[in-house]
Amino acid sequence: MSAAIPKHIDNPAVLYMDGVSVSFDGFKALNSLSMVIAPGEMRAIIGPNGAGKTTMMDVITGKTRPDNGTIVFTDSSNTQYDLTRYDEAAVANLGVGRKFQKPSVIESLTVFENLEMSLKGGRGLWAALTHKLGAEKAAKLDEILGLIDLADKADWLAGSLSHGQKQWLEIGMLLGQEPQLLLIDEPAAGMTDEETMKTAALFKQLAKKYSLMVVEHDMDFIEALDCKVTVLHEGHVLAEGSLATVKANPQVIEVYLGR
Ligand code: ADP
Ligand code: MG
Average pLDDT of span 113-141: 74
Summary mean pLDDT of the chain: 90
Average pLDDT of span 52-77: 96
Q: Give me the pLDDT at residue 3, please.
A: 39
- Under 8 Å CB-to-CB from 231, ≥6 apart: which residues? 46, 47, 237, 238, 239, 240, 246, 249, 252, 256
Q: Are 221 and 200 in contact (CB under 8 A)?
A: yes
pLDDT at 215 over 60: yes
DSSP string, 6-32: PPP-----SEEEEEEEEEETTEEEEEE
Q: Give me the pLDDT at residue 104, please.
A: 78
Amino acid at 54: T
Q: Give me the pLDDT at residue 117, please.
A: 86
Question: How many helices (H) does the chain have, and how many strands (E)?
Answer: 10, 10
Q: Give me the pLDDT at residue 159, please.
A: 97
Which ligand 1 atom sits closest to the C-alpha of 58?
6
pLDDT at 100 over 80: no
Q: Which of 77, 110, 103 is nearest to 9 (CA)?
A: 77
Average pLDDT of span 128-147: 81
pLDDT at 99 over 60: yes
> Candidates 24, 35, 231: which one to mutate for ligand 1, based on the most atoms within 8 Å of Cβ?
24
Q: Are 83 and 91 in contact (CB under 8 A)?
A: yes
Say what the pTM is.
Answer: 0.90
Average pLDDT of span 4-13: 53
CA atoms within a 13 Å half-sphere pointing along the CA-CB vector of 147: 27
**What's the gap in Å between 133 CA and the centre of ligand 2?**
38
Q: Give me the pLDDT at residue 257, please.
A: 85
Indicate the burial class of 88 (C-beta count within 10 angstroms; 0-12, 13-18, 19 or more).
Answer: middle
Kindly identify the ligand whose nearest atom is closest to the C-alpha of 231: 1
Nearest CA to ligand 1 atom 23: 24
Amino acid at 42: M
**What's the gap in Å between 125 CA and the centre of ligand 2?**
39
Q: Give me the pLDDT at residue 2, please.
A: 37
Number of residues that this document lists for the chain? 259
Indicate the burial class of 32 (C-beta count within 10 angstroms; 0-12, 13-18, 19 or more).
Answer: middle
Q: Are 169 and 111 in contact (CB under 8 A)?
A: yes
**What's the gap in Å between 40 CA and the centre of ligand 2?**
24
Which ligand 1 atom sits closest to the C-alpha of 64?
23
pLDDT in tens, 27-59: 999 999 999 999 999 999 999 999 999 999 999
Q: Give me the pLDDT at residue 10, please.
A: 56
